[in-house]
Amino acid sequence: MQALIEKIREAQSTAIGHFNISDLSALKGIFEAALDLKLPVIIGLSDGERNFIGTKQAAAVVRSLRESYNFPIFINADHVKSLEGIKEAAEAGFDSVMLDAGDLSFKENMKKTKEAVELSKSINNNILVEGEIGYITGHSQIVNAEEWLIKEENLAKPEEAAEFVKETGVDLLAPAVGNIHGMFKGALMPNINIARIKEIKDAVGVPLVLHGGSGIENSDIISAIEAGISIIHVNTELRLAWRNSLEKSLFENKEEIAPYKILPPVVNAIREVVENKLKLFNKSI
C-alpha cells in the first residue's frame, strides 16, 4: 500500500490508470500493456466482478504478478456497496477499497464512509480508502445520451468535499464533475467540469479520482489531469473491446473450441485500449 501512495504522489501532471476486470484475459491484456510501458496500474473489481472471480483469488493473482515481476500493479475493490464487502476486500489483502454511497444524502454518505474508513484501517492501517461525493449516474454499459441526464445539483461542491474529507478521513476522493459510468451511443460524453475539479482539488488535501473515464474527449482527460485528477477509471471501453474481439475471433474460428486459441485476440484488443489510455494519462510517454 505504501508503494501505491508513493506512485500517486509521483503522478505530477499524469494519472494512474485504473482498469476493471471480469476475467483473466482482461487482466493479461492490462498487465502486458502496463509492463511494456513501465507504468504503474491499478486493477479494479466491482462487487459483481469480485463475486464472479473471487475476492481472495483476484487479490492472490495480482499479488503474484507484483511479486514475480517486481512491478507496481495494485488491486482496488471498486464501488463496494456494503461494509461487509469492504471487510472482505480488506481482509483479502486489497491495496485499496472504494465505498459507493454517493446515492445517499450527503450526511448519510459521510457517516457510512467514515465507518468504512474505520473498519478498513482496523484491519490494515495502510490500506487506502476512497469515498465518492455528488452523484455519478449510470453503469458500465452503452446507452442513448438522453437516458442519462447530468444535473448541476448532482455535481460535487468544493465546500462539501472539504468537509467530507475532514470528517471521514478518506485517502482518495471521487467527485461527480459531469462524468458518468458508461458510454453514449455514437457520441462522446458531455464536457467534464474542469473548473469544478480545480476548485475541489484546492479545497481538499487528498488525491482525486475520476470515475467513468470511458468515452471522454482526450482533451478533457488531459485538462482534468492538469486540474488535479490523479487516478482515472476505465471499464466500459474494455468491455466493448472484449465483446467485439471475442465475437470476431469466434466468427473467424468457427471450429475451434480451445479457449487459449480463441482468446489471444481478446487480450490484444484490451491491451491496445489500455496502452492508448496509459499514453494519454502520461503525456510524456
Whole-angstrom distance, CA of residue 199 vs CA of residue 251 = 50
Distance of CA 126 to CAs 10, 105, 122, 174, 231, Å?
18, 28, 10, 19, 18
**Residues of the domain holding 218:** 2-281
Count of Cβ atoms closer than 10 Å to residue 256 Cβ: 11
Cβ neighbourhood burial of 57 (10 Å; 0-12, 13-18, 19+): exposed
Catalytic residues: 78
Whole-angstrom distance, CA of residue 105 vs CA of residue 269 = 40
CATH of the domain at 69: 3.20.20.70
Q: Is the pTM of this model over 0.75?
A: yes
Cβ-count burial 213-249 (b if 16+ within 10 Å, e if not): bbbbeeebbbbbbebbbbbbbbbbbbbbbbeebbeeb
Cβ neighbourhood burial of 41 (10 Å; 0-12, 13-18, 19+): buried
Whole-angstrom distance, CA of residue 124 vs CA of residue 52 = 25
Locate 143 and state its grid cell.
446507452
Q: How many domains does the chain have?
A: 1
Closest CA to 232 of 272, 268, 197: 197
Strands (E), the chain: 16-20, 41-45, 73-80, 96-99, 128-133, 138-143, 172-175, 181-184, 208-210, 229-234
Q: What is the pLDDT along the chain (285 residues), one digit of tens a residue?
A: 567 767 676 666 899 999 999 999 999 999 999 999 999 999 999 999 999 999 999 999 999 999 999 999 999 999 999 999 999 999 999 999 999 998 889 999 999 999 999 999 999 999 999 999 987 554 555 555 555 556 666 788 999 999 999 999 999 999 988 766 555 555 555 678 899 999 999 999 999 999 988 878 888 999 999 999 999 999 989 999 999 999 999 999 999 999 999 999 999 999 999 999 999 999 844
Q: Give how far the C-alpha of residue 183 lies from the chain's centroid of Cα atoms, to the nearest Å.
A: 15
Locate 231 and state its grid cell.
487516478
Distance of CA 23 to CAs 49, 131, 199, Å?
8, 26, 38
